[in-house]
Amino acid sequence: MTASIIDGKAFAAALRGQVAGHVAALTAAHGIVPGLAVVLVGDDPASHVYVRSKGKMTVEVGMRSFEHRLPVDTDEATLLALIHQLNNDAQVHGILVQLPLPDHLNADLVINAIDPAKDVDGFHISNVGLLATGQKAMVPCTPLGCLLMLRAHHGSLAGMEAVVIGRSNIVGKPMAQLLLGDSCTVTLAHSRTRNLAEVVRRADIVVAAVGRAQMVPGDWIKPGATVIDVGINRVDAGEGKTRLVGDVDFDSASGVAGAITPVPGGVGPMTIACLLANTVTACCRANALPEPEGLTV
Ligand code: NAD
């Protein structure tokens, strides 16, 4: 293996430490405790695990956590009424609606009902537009985590060739916007891209966000490139067990890349840390206080 490992767990622990420091300072100087509300509709077991772990980490950094678990048959009016209540609650600085929502609920309508200033997932149409036009936005957590790790690893990204694979609204598109904002030359590849291997071979930075286990082999990677693997895929590990792998074939890619994030332990831990960071940023903005350095872009 030649690649250095970008240790997302360590980055995330450091970011949570920074967040905790800012929360303590906000509380000591102004008596303000940032608060994060998480809304979960339904009984998807994985979503319940995510929400529990978000709540635990929120409390660990000194913030208030508000969890709202609603039954799977919750109707739109009830959910919108809860969001309206949270929009008007001064103790709540960040609101996250856990996705996916049950099919009978319109996710776009629900997300766009969140006060954009409290939209710590950065999915509200106003934040999407602000990010796309290079204005101060709430930035989606997963791409934000990727960018913070890339900046920490490289310093300036200006002029680098970046290829993002996957064009989802929650990862691929905002990732491309962020890399463009940092003056990369960006290609946004997707399921209809021709000659994907050739496109990826141009890249100094590869961000894979597809959801297909190990689809990017090492011989697609330019020697020395930095590889950020967003994918989380559960595969059969034999003997009735499973394990998590990314969208990149780690074994072959790590023999070619200059640096690579592992799965697990790469992008995943940074996502929750960035959610906490966004909540502090939202809290400072809501109180017209200076924003702490290094928590957002
Ligand atoms: P998505 O299904 O919404 O989007 C997948 C994208 O991949 C689509 O834009 C599609 O065009 C593209 N794609 C599909 N097949 C392709 C192919 N053969 N070649 C090239 N592109 C192809 O997925 P998402 O929500 O963006 O998530 C992507 C992956 O990232 C998933 O594995 C998900 O679990 C993971 N994820 C991880 C985190 C984290 O915190 N680490 C957060 C969000 C998503």
Q: Quick one: average pLDDT of 104-133?
A: 98
Question: Is pLDDT above 90 for 213?
Answer: yes
Question: Is pLDDT above 70 for 76?
Answer: yes
CA angle in degrees (0–180, nearest 5) for 20-22-24: 70
3-state SS, residue 166: coil
Residues in Cβ contact with 217 at an 8 Å cutoff, skipping those fewer than 6 apart: 249, 252, 253
96, 121 Cβ separation under 8 angstroms: yes
Active site residue 121: yes
Q: For residues 160 and 239, what is the distance between their CA atoms, to the nearest angstrom?
A: 44
Residue 81: predicted pLDDT: 98
Q: Quick one: average pLDDT of 137-149?
A: 98
Count Cα neighbours of 15 within 13 Å in the Cβ-side half-sphere.
31
Question: Is pLDDT above 90 for 51?
Answer: yes
Residue 97: predicted pLDDT: 98
Q: For atom 39 of ligand 1, which residue has the closest CA? A: 268
3-state SS, residue 173: helix
Question: Is pLDDT above 90 for 129?
Answer: yes
pLDDT band (50, 70, 90) for residue 160: very high
Q: Which atom of ligand 1 is nearest to the CA of 246?
A: 32
142, 168 Cβ separation under 8 angstroms: no
Rg (CA), the chain: 19
Question: Is pLDDT above 90 for 177?
Answer: yes
User: In the numeric block, which tokens belong to residue 105?
Assistant: 């609920």
pLDDT band (50, 70, 90) for residue 190: very high
Active site residue 85: no
Residue 141: predicted pLDDT: 98
Structural domains in the chain plus CATH codes? 30-116 (3.40.50.10860), 141-269 (3.40.50.720)
DSSP calls for 131-155: HHTT---PPPHHHHHHHHHHHHHHS
Angle 267-286/8-30 helices, nearest 10 degrees? 20
Q: E-assigned strands of 158-270?
A: 161-165, 185-189, 205-208, 226-229, 233-238, 241-245, 259-260
Question: Is pLDDT above 90 for 193?
Answer: yes
Q: For residues 118 and 285, what is the distance between their CA atoms, to the nearest angstrom?
A: 10
Pocket of ligand 1 (CB under 6 A): 142, 165-168, 170-172, 189-191, 193, 196, 209-212, 230-233, 267-268, 271
Residue 203: predicted pLDDT: 98
What mean pLDDT value characterizes the chain? Answer: 97
DSSP calls for 32-51: ---EEEEEEES--HHHHHHH
Question: Is pLDDT above 80 for 232?
Answer: yes
Tallying the residues shown for the chain, one arrives at 297
For strands 241-245 and 233-238, give the pairing.
antiparallel
Residue 1: predicted pLDDT: 67
Question: Is pLDDT above 90 for 57?
Answer: yes
